[in-house]
Amino acid sequence: MSETYTASITAPVNIATLKYWGKRDTNLNLPTNSSISVTLDQSDLKTTTSAMTCSSFTKDRLWLNGEEDLQLSESKRLTQVLANLRLKRKEKEAKDASLTKISDWFIHIVSINNFPTAAGLASSAAGFAALVACVAKLLQLDDDMTELSKIARQGSGSACRSLFGGFVAWEMGEHSDGTDSKAVEVAPLEHWPQMKACILVACADKKDVSSTSGMQLTVKTSDLFQKRITEVVPERFEQMKKSILDKDFELFAELTMKDSNSFHATCLDSYPPIFYMNDTSKKVVRLVHKINAFYGKTIVAYTFDAGPNAVLYYLEENEDKLMTFIYAMFKNLNGWENKYNGDELNKFI
Ligand code: 2P0
């Protein structure tokens, strides 16, 4: 029987609090601004990926959510990512003659998301992060996560941030070859374990405008965009990192909401305009501002990616205060009437 190697890994979704939107190099996925995200707990939304390599395999194959992707060889991003990982293995084999030359073998990959794919829930981020981490493990590479993040970035920009848990920055870098465009940890999850995220799925359908094409339309046509990347985001990047290190929730929340609004404003300022938020999303925005006004301080922040679904960030101590309102707004959750004063809430919303 042929010799085989296997590896398995899970990668969680990350939700940006300072958004990546725009590329300065579409080949290498080099962004026009740095970004920050929070990687959700492994037990929530995640991709699980397993890989196997064997000298008798005759081609690379990939199964996504149970179905084989027959276009694998035509996917530039996938082939580029696999080629980069194999190159690293080749370099290792060149230095150590005792290693089996598995860099020449084909790989079979099976990947499963436990949440809707391409619905603006960062499926490509978790997907490419899991693929890179899994194949790196399969090929027994010694590179650290920051080094691997440069490869994951080429699969999907936001994927580079999913290689780390907790609070993560993707530094845009300056070089044209992408060697300094990488993900780094701002703080591990344990630094601020009270931080919680709640996802309100307004619609799980596939989005109309993919992030990749949407952001390039914005780069080409939006006037607001220039101000965003040259002035707004660079300042926010430093402020947000500090708010995380200082565990300053009110500042973190304000920056998060403002950045979501700024990103969606540039989408609307694109021509023709791109709409990712829907009426339910707007209701959530209004509700969050009302909740914060009601309590006299910012206890919750919203952020929206390239889709209508809201991600709310809050501290664990405020979960009950927040959920009181969420349950009242989306009355289809069992038992809310018994637990909370529905009349008062209805007046409020
Ligand atoms: C982000 N998004 O920072 C932003 C916010 C969506 C809105 O990264 O073309 O799927 O694969 O690099 O990473 C979505 O874009 O785009 C994204 P590609 P990607 O999370």
| Atom number in ligand 1 closest to CA 212 | 9
Instruction: For residue 157, report the distance from its CA to the centre of ligand 1, in Å.
Output: 6
Cβ–Cβ < 8 Å for 138, 6: yes
Q: Which sign does the torsion angle of CA 305, 239, 174, 273 carry? A: positive
The CATH number that applies at residue 261 is 3.30.70.890
Give yes or no: residues 109 and 165 share one domain.
yes
Give yes or no: residues 212 and 337 share one domain.
yes
Give yes or no: residues 138 and 251 share one domain.
no
| Atom number in ligand 1 closest to CA 158 | 13
Instruction: For residue 122, report the distance from its CA to the centre of ligand 1, in Å.
Output: 7
For the cut 60, the answer to whether the pLDDT of residue 118 exceeds it is: no
Tell which of 174, 190, 206 closes a domain: 190
For this complex, say whether ipTM is above 0.95: yes
**Residue 125: half-sphere exposure toward Cβ, Cα within 13 Å:** 30
What pLDDT score was predicted for residue 324? 86
Give yes or no: residues 180 and 288 share one domain.
no
Mean pLDDT of 273-279: 94
For the cut 50, the answer to whether the pLDDT of residue 335 exceeds it is: no
Beta-bridge partner residues of 302: 312
- For tokens 């940006």, the residue is 16
Residues 14-28 pLDDT 10s: 999 999 999 999 999
For the cut 60, the answer to whether the pLDDT of residue 43 exceeds it is: yes
Percent of the chain with pLDDT over 70: 90
Instruction: For residue 5, report the distance from its CA to the centre of ligand 1, in Å.
Output: 32
**Cα–Cα distance for residue pair 83/76, rounded to 1 Å:** 10
From atom 9 of ligand 1, which residue's Cα is the shortest distance away?
212
Instruction: For residue 342, report the distance from its CA to the centre of ligand 1, in Å.
Output: 38
Q: Which residue has the higher pLDDT, 199 or 292?
A: 292
The CATH number that applies at residue 125 is 3.30.230.10
Give yes or no: residues 162 and 304 share one domain.
no
Give yes or no: residues 157 and 248 share one domain.
no
Run of H or E residues at 345: helix 342-348
Give yes or no: residues 204 and 172 share one domain.
no
pTM for the model stands at 0.93
Residues 205-256 pLDDT 10s: 766 788 999 999 999 999 999 999 999 999 999 999 999 999 999 999 999 9
For the cut 50, the answer to whether the pLDDT of residue 336 exceeds it is: no
Ligand 1: list residues with CB < 6 Å.
Answer: 16, 19-21, 29, 35, 122, 124-125, 156-158, 211-212, 305-306
For the cut 90, the answer to whether the pLDDT of residue 171 exceeds it is: yes
What's the token pair of residue 185? Answer: 């940890």
Give the residue numbers spanning the domain of 300.
Answer: 196-348
Q: Which sign does the torsion angle of CA 215, 220, 223, 228 carry? A: positive
Mean pLDDT of 75-99: 96
Give yes or no: residues 223 and 176 share one domain.
no
**DSSP readout, 60-96?**
-EEEETTEE-TTGGG-HHHHHHHHHHHHHHHHHHHH-
Residue positions counted in the chain: 349
Count how many domains the chain has: 2
**Angle, helices 145-155/76-95, rounded to nearest 10 degrees:** 150
Q: How far is C-alpha 39 from the geometric centre of its chain's CA atoms?
A: 7
Range of weakest confidence among 22-26, 99-103, 111-115? 111-115
Instruction: For residue 65, report the distance from its CA to the centre of ligand 1, in Å.
Output: 21
For the cut 70, the answer to whether the pLDDT of residue 344 exceeds it is: no
Give yes or no: residues 164 and 225 share one domain.
no
From atom 7 of ligand 1, which residue's Cα is the shortest distance away?
305
Give yes or no: residues 342 and 275 share one domain.
yes
Tell which of 130, 161, 190 closes a domain: 190
Tell which of 139, 174, 190 closes a domain: 190
Give yes or no: residues 122 and 15 share one domain.
yes
Give yes or no: residues 84 and 164 share one domain.
yes
From atom 12 of ligand 1, which residue's Cα is the shortest distance away?
157
Instruction: For residue 103, report the distance from its CA to the centre of ligand 1, in Å.
Output: 30
Name residues whose C-beta falls within 8 Å of residue 132's C-beta, 6 or more positions apart in sequence. 81, 85, 148, 151, 152, 155, 159, 163
